[in-house]
């Protein structure tokens, strides 16, 4: 127990210190020589540090607040940034961006990309990606033509772990079908079971029987990725605690706790006074969140709204 607390404390301090450093670096970058890309990257790093810190405090508020999945329209978000006009003067600009976010899905078996996430997709392309062992598949919402739904997703098998599929969603569903989709927890379980059944059916049909169970689905990032360069950086840096973007499971993955530490951490979480809270580690719970993107409420207000009886005592992290 104490060991994990020490580890949490150390990580928390590291993250906050890191965040401060990024803020200072950003502060020094806001001069005529800094590029908007540099500033964007630093901002993402700052948010990442704060998010990780919150995760360590067992308070994943940002994962709920920043989750764009539940928005009903295919909105584009504005990215504010500084650029230069032709006279090389710094000017303030807004860029329209299609919101996108990614997650990783771990399964067993070879049918990973076909797992059921509650929406119906139509594959429209596949591409070999430079430096990747596996091709990237492109899907769009089945209802694009009938209802003009612009949601798309990309699925790519991980190089490091063939059981992991990286899924990047772009845009949000505005089709009727998606709005009526019930992605409650029970329904998700049903989807998983259905998936398992289909996998087994297919494999048996191929005379290649093996145990096919969905081991785990884990959301690694629901962060809206604001540019292609950041997106490519996400995967490149996803195991780097200092450059990876905000991740809902960043508490675990980038910091490489030992198995023993992970086990103890689970015990802590289970015995914790916060353990009754269901955190949004899958779209299942996230999707029922009343929040959509950023709101005018402060973080405190939003947390209070989600968990009205939540009392957080962080002193134990510093004992």
Partner DNA sequence: AAGATTTGACCAGG
Partner DNA sequence: CCTGGTCAAATCTT
Closer residue to DNA (CB): 230 or 264? 230
What stretches of the chain show up as alpha helix (H) in DSSP? Answer: 2-29, 36-56, 61-65, 144-147, 176-180, 185-205, 228-237, 259-271, 283-286, 299-306
- Rounded CA-CA distance 266/130 in Å is 38
Provide, rounded to whole angstroms, the least separation between the CB of residue 21 and DNA.
28
Handedness of CA 78, 84, 90, 91 (dihedral sign): negative
Angle at CA of residue 314, ends 308 and 316, nearest 5°: 130
Residue from 85, 160, 228, 313 in contact with DNA (CB under 7 A): 228
Would you report the helix, strand and coil content of the chain in percent, each value rounded to 5? Answer: 40, 15, 45
Report the site for DNA in 96-155 (rule: CB under 7 A): 120-131, 136-138, 140, 142, 152, 154
Report the site for DNA in 154-173 (rule: CB under 7 A): 154
Closer residue to DNA (CB): 223 or 280? 223
Contact 222, 66 (CB under 8 A): yes
Length in residues, the chain: 319
Closer residue to DNA (CB): 25 or 144? 144
Closer residue to DNA (CB): 177 or 253? 177
Provide, rounded to whole angstroms, the least separation between the CB of residue 157 and DNA.
13
Q: Scanning the structure block, which residue is given the tokens 């063939």? A: 162
# residues near DNA by CB under 7 A:
21
Report the site for DNA in 230-249 (rule: CB under 7 A): 231
Tokens of 258: 């030992």
Closer residue to DNA (CB): 232 or 288? 232
Provide, rounded to whole angstroms, the least separation between the CB of residue 120 and DNA.
6
Angle at CA of residue 157, ends 109 and 155, nearest 5°: 105
Closer residue to DNA (CB): 122 or 273? 122
Provide, rounded to whole angstroms, the least separation between the CB of residue 75 and DNA.
16
- Interface with DNA (CB under 7 A): 120-131, 136-138, 140, 142, 152, 154, 228, 231
């Amino acid at each position: 127990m104490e060991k994990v607390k020490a580890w949490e404390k150390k990580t928390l301090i590291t993250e906050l210190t890191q965040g401060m450093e990024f803020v200072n670096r950003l502060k020094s970058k806001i001069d005529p020589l800094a590029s908007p890309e540099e500033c964007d990257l630093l901002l993402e790093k700052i948010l990442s540090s704060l998010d990780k810190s919150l995760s360590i405090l067992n308070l994943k508020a940002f994962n709920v607040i920043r989750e764009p999945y539940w928005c009903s329209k295919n909105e584009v978000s504005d990215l504010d940034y500084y650029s230069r006009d032709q006279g090389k003067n710094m000017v303030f600009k807004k860029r329209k961006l299609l919101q996108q976010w990614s997650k990783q899905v771990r399964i067993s078996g070879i049918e990973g990309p076909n797992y059921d996430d509650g929406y119906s997709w139509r594959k429209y392309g596949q591409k070999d990606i430079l430096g990747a062992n596996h091709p990237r598949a492109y899907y769009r919402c089945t209802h694009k033509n009938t209802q003009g739904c612009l949601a798309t997703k990309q699925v790519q098998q991980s190089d490091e772990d063939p059981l992991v599929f990286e899924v990047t969603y772009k845009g949000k569903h505005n089709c009727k079908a998606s709005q009526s989709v019930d992605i409650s927890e029970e329904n998700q379980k049903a989807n998983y079971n259905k998936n398992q059944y289909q996998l087994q059916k297919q494999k048996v049909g191929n005379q290649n029987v093996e145990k096919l169970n969905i081991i785990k689905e884990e959301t690694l990032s629901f962060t809206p990725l604001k540019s292609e360069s950041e997106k490519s950086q996400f995967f490149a840096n996803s195991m780097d605690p200092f450059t990876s973007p905000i991740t809902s499971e960043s508490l675990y993955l980038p910091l490489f706790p030992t198995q023993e530490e992970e086990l103890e951490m689970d015990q802590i979480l289970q015995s914790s006074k916060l353990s009754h809270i269901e955190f949004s580690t899958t779209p299942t719970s996230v999707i029922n969140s009343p929040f959509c993107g950023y709101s005018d409420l402060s973080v405190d207000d939003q947390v209070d709204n989600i968990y009205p009886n939540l009392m957080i005592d962080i002193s134990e992290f510093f004992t």
